[in-house]
Amino acid sequence: MSPGFRIVVALLIADRARRITGLAALAAGVGGAMAARALRDRLGRRRPGERQEGGFPSRHAAAAAAIAVTVLRREPRIGVALVGAAVVGGVARVATAEHEPADILAGAILGAGVASGVNAVVDRLMQARTRNL
């Protein structure tokens, strides 16, 4: 996860009114990165360039997409900015030969899927909390 995304997530968690969004984004980002790492290690598809470890799917793209999609759902203005940053970051990683375009696309799709699951869990927890109040 890039430092910019870490800062946004930390600021969301620090803001009491947006804490649930920040915690959901943190869970989605970590979950996306972990899922991408597990797949990457199993698939073993090499990256372009000098680096030896696998690059498919991209952990950075998975984490960025997971965070952006989670935030977009709950805080649309912030989420749109994060989606833009995720796209720019993915393009930059291809331009610098850190990844192939398919690595970024697969990571983004994986991250969006993880975000969908995290959002469903958070929604259920919030509904249960509301019923119990």
| C-beta of residue 91 within 8 angstroms of C-beta of residue 70 | no
Q: Of 34-43, 48-57, 119-128, which gets the smallest average pLDDT?
A: 48-57
Separation CA 100–CA 117 (nearest Å): 26
Q: What does the pLDDT look like over 68-85, one tens digit per residue?
A: 999 999 999 999 999 999
pLDDT, tens digit (0-9, with 9 covering 90-100), for 25-36:
999 999 999 999
Mean pLDDT of 105-115: 97
Residue 122 near residue 104, CB atoms below 8 Å: no
Torsion 69-70-76-79 (CA) sign: negative
Contact 29, 66 (CB under 8 A): yes
Residue 5 has pLDDT above 70, yes or no: yes
For range 42-51, the mean pLDDT: 77
Domains of the chain: which residue ranges? 3-132
**132: Cβ contacts below 8 Å, ≥ 6 apart:** none
